[in-house]
Chains A and B, each alone.
Chain A
Amino acid sequence: MIDERAPAGCEDVRTRLSARHDGEYPDPAGELDRHLARCAECAGFERALGSLGERVFDPLRAAEPPRGLAGRVSARAARAAQGGLRRGDRGVAALARGLAAALLGFLGVQLFASRAPAEERSSALELLGETGHALAHPGDHPPPELALVRLFETETEARR
Chain B
Amino acid sequence: MRRLARGQGAALDTLFARHGGRVYRLARGMLPQPEDAEDATQEVFLKLLERAGQFDCRARFTTWLHRLTVNLCLNRGERQRQRVCEGLAAELAAEGGDPSAGAAQADECARAAALLERLSPEHRAVLSLRELEGLSYAEIAATLHLPVGTVMSRLARARERLAAEVGEREATKVGALSLPKTRTR
A interface with B by C-beta (< 8 Å): 1-2, 10-11, 14-15, 17-19, 22, 24-25, 41, 44-45, 47-49, 51-53, 55-57, 59-66, 69-70, 72-74, 76-78, 80-81
Contacts and interface: CB of A to CB of B under 8 A. Distances in A.
B13 A74 contact: yes
B156 A69 contact: no
Contacts of A48: 159, 163, 166-167, 177, 179
B102 interface: no
A56 B159 CA distance: 11
Interface residues of B, number: 51
A16 B39 CA distance: 36
A15 B109 CA distance: 27
Interface string B103-118: 0000011011101100
Contacts, number: 140
B17 interface: yes
Contacts of A66: 24, 34, 38
Contacts of B148: 1
Contact of A19 (B108, B156, B178): B156
Prevailing SS type, chain B contact patch: helix
A56 B166 contact: yes
A22 B49 contact: no
Interface in B3-58: 7, 9, 12-13, 16-17, 20-21, 24-25, 28-29, 34, 38, 41-42, 45-46, 49-50
Interface in B127-166: 130-132, 136-137, 147-149, 152-153, 155-156, 159-160, 162-163, 166
A49 B167 CA distance: 12
